[in-house]
A and B are shown apart, each in its own frame.
Chain A
Amino acid sequence: MKAKGSRDLMITRFVTAVSEIARNAATHGEGGRMLIYDLPDPTLIGVEFIDEGRGIRDVETALTDGYSTRKNSLGRGLGGAKRLANTFTIESKPDKGTVVRMTGICTKR
């Protein structure tokens, strides 16, 4: 993103979102793959996370701030990542795994 001339703020926002999702995949999804894409639109960057873990039963609820399956977590990760990324899609099937796709903006503004 830096190479594409992105602003610090955009980088921080997007990398934080990526970090949240990666952490989720590691703790709930038993690890997974992360793919980074150069998109046709040069002002965007795409990231895809694929895990084959437990999946999320109710995506809507999981995206709500304050919801968490664990006790010492704040439950802000998923919803926060959605707000920080430019676009955010999540597909999840219980016991099959989860796919999260996000894009970040690489422009000056």
Chain B
Amino acid sequence: MNAAAIYAVEGILLVSITSDITDSDIIELQELLSNRIAKSETRGVVVDISALEIVDTFVGRVLAQLTAIARLLDAETYVVGMRPAVAMTLVELGMYLPDNHTALTLDHALEKMRSAGLISGISRRA
């Protein structure tokens, strides 16, 4: 699977999704990510969707599921990099992703996670 990659960054897991991701890739990602969260004992997951031009109800549902799975494994999920057109379309579809945290970019997400105490260690701001 090349369409998505999971990196360990600053004690959290960064999931980067590319634009050519397929449905089966996404389902595979769900499996892979659950294992990684459990193994790494991370408290935070960041899903970068800035490459996605389209997020339909299926992808939206998977994002919500990822969040729910991560939460059961004691990790909070941040979705970052959503494009304006995608945000407007999701709202039109009635998908507000209420359980996901959101942030503009990875940096913003890391900042938010630090202040929420999800990242251990010394905060950059302090």
Q: Which residues of chain A from 19 to 78 have any CB-CB distance to chain B below 8 Å in the complex? A: 19-20, 23, 65, 72-74, 76-77
A107 on the B face (CB < 8 A): no
Contacts of B121 in A (CB 8 A): none
The answer to whether B88 touches A20, judged by C-beta atoms less than 8 angstroms apart, is no
A8 on the B face (CB < 8 A): yes
A9 on the B face (CB < 8 A): yes
| Chain A: interface size category | 10 to 19
**Bound Cα distance A80, B90 (Å):** 9
Q: Mark B102-114, 1 if CB is under 8 A from A, else 0.
A: 0000000000000
**Bound Cα distance A12, B21 (Å):** 16
Number of interface residues of B (CB under 8 A): 18
B94 CB to closest chain A CB, in angstroms? 5
The answer to whether B94 touches A16, judged by C-beta atoms less than 8 angstroms apart, is no
B10 on the A face (CB < 8 A): no
B79 CB to closest chain A CB, in angstroms? 16
A98 CB to closest chain B CB, in angstroms? 18
Contacts of B94 in A (CB 8 A): 65, 76, 80
